[in-house]
């Protein structure tokens, strides 16, 4: 994997735990396979028997669960630097699909290879555990939203969360960013209908909370949006925990 593309991962791992230079080197040495992907392309094609994890280098991705009736629930959104399919280490999940929302690239690594690294480098294992924990926290936050917030609150919450995560990844300014998903995907992420997402989006606009131009969002009244979403960004970060290195 090129030093260039690993930077994002490095940044996100370092943000979530103490990792030594040796850890970093060990990570870089791994046999990654870089893949460029188009928008809509599945990320975790399991053409061989091995399971894989990947690191999102550029672009945005989502992970969704397919229900038997054909509907879909998007359960997570991913920004560059995120691990994709970490759960594949423990469990195969045949009803999940991870796809790119935009063109981008990933670095793929076979799960067994990653596993053997982890057994030698507990601090990396710790960092990945932490990422799983943050993911779980986001899940439960979404769960609360879909279960107990109305449509406006859900959309508002998703906008808040995405804005914060983009800023953390250094990909967005203060209150203006590109929302790289269609309204249908927004609907699948919030448990709504594309039609209703459209209406809610426009009601947010008419209320003066946001501005919409194509897929660029400008948050015009952060305070009211946060209030409407009942948004508290605490769950997105986790403070580093000391681990013997």
Partner DNA sequence: CGGAGGCTTGAGCCCTTTCAATGTCTGTGG
Partner DNA sequence: CCACAGACATTGAAAGGGCTCAAGCCTCCG
- The binding track of 104-143 with respect to DNA, each residue x by CB under 7 A or -, is ----------------------------------------
Q: How far is CA 168 from CA 8, 55, 186, 216, in A?
A: 11, 17, 21, 18
Q: Quick one: angle between helices 21-29 and 111-120, nearest 10?
A: 160
Q: Does 93 bind a second copy (CB under 8 A)?
A: yes
**17: nearest Cα among 241, 237, 244:** 241
Question: How many C-beta neighbours within 10 Å does residue 187 have?
Answer: 23
Among 12, 16, 126, 152, binds DNA (CB under 7 A): 152
Is residue 183 within the footprint of DNA (CB under 7 A)?
yes
Distances (CA, A) of 231 to 70, 163, 219: 31, 12, 14
The sign of the dihedral angle between the CA atoms of 118, 119, 121, 125 is positive
Task: State yes or no: residue 33 binds a second copy (CB under 8 A).
Answer: no
* Residue 58 C-alpha from the chain's centroid: 12
Residue among 116 and 182 whose Cβ is closer to DNA: 182
For residue 193, state whether it binds DNA (rule: CB under 7 A).
yes
Decide if residue 212 touches DNA (CB under 7 A).
Answer: yes
Q: Pick the binder of DNA from 75, 86, 151, 168 (CB under 7 A).
A: 151
Q: Which parts of this chain interact with a second copy (CB under 8 A)? A: 65, 67-69, 71-73, 75-76, 86-87, 89-95, 115, 118-120, 122, 125-126, 128-130, 132-137, 139-144, 146-149, 190-191, 230, 232, 234-235, 237-239, 241-244
């Amino acid at each position: 994997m090129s030093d260039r593309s690993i930077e994002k991962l490095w940044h996100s791992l370092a943000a979530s735990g103490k990792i030594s230079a040796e850890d970093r080197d060990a990570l870089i040495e791994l046999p990654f396979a870089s893949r460029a992907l188009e928008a809509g392309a599945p990320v975790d094609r399991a053409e061989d028997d091995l399971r894989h994890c990947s690191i999102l280098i550029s672009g945005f991705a989502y992970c969704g669960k397919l229900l038997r009736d054909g509907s879909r629930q998007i359960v997570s959104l991913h920004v560059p630097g995120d691990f994709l399919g970490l759960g594949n280490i423990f469990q195969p999940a045949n009803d999940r699909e991870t796809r790119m929302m935009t063109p981008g690239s990933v670095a793929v690594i076979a799960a067994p290879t990653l596993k053997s690294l982890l057994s030698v480098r507990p601090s990396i294992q710790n960092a990945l555990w932490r990422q799983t924990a943050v993911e779980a926290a986001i899940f439960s936050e979404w769960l609360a939203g879909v279960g107990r917030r109305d449509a406006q609150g859900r959309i508002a919450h998703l906008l808040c969360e995405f804005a914060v995560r983009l800023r953390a990844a250094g990909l967005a300014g203060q209150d203006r960013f590109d929302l790289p998903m269609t309204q249908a995907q927004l609907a699948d992420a919030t448990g709504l209908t594309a039609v209703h997402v459209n209406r809610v989006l426009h009601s947010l606009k008419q209320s003066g909370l946001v501005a919409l131009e194509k897929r660029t969002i400008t948050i015009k009244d952060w305070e009211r949006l946060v209030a409407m979403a009942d948004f508290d960004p605490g769950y997105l970060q986790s403070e580093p925990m000391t681990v013997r290195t």
